[in-house]
Amino acid sequence: MLSLDGNVLCFATTWEHAISTSVLQAPHRSQVLRRWAEALTDGTMDDMGEPDEPPLSVAARRWLDSTRHVSD
């Protein structure tokens, strides 16, 4: 999950006997996440999202554009 302002990323996964959660503040500063979001903008994963939500490429571009000035 990405917060509405794009400043906090929360994620979780399950293991055989445990649940792992993490919170990343200032995800826009992560070059790995920015490269991944840039790759999403090509539209190849757009059919993976929910039908009532914008395509992943649009959401990724919006996030990249909104955090461009704060990523340095």
Give 6-42 pLDDT, tens digit per residue.
778 888 889 888 899 888 888 888 888 888 889 989 9
Local structure of residue 43 (DSSP, 8 states): S
Specify burial of residue 4 (Cβ count, 10 A radius: 0-12, 13-18, 19+). Answer: exposed
pLDDT at 70: 62
pLDDT at 15: 85
Q: What element of type H or E holds 8?
A: strand 8-14
Given a cut of 60, whether residue 67 has pLDDT beyond it is yes
Q: What is the mean pLDDT of residues 56-71?
A: 80
Given a cut of 60, whether residue 71 has pLDDT beyond it is no
Confidence of residue 60 (pLDDT cuts 50, 70, 90): confident
Residue 22 to residue 39: CA distance in whole angstroms:
23
Q: Where do the structural domains in the chain lie, given as residue ranges?
A: 8-70
Spell out the residues 6+ positions from residue 11 whose beta carbon is closer than 8 angstroms to its own: 1, 21, 22, 24
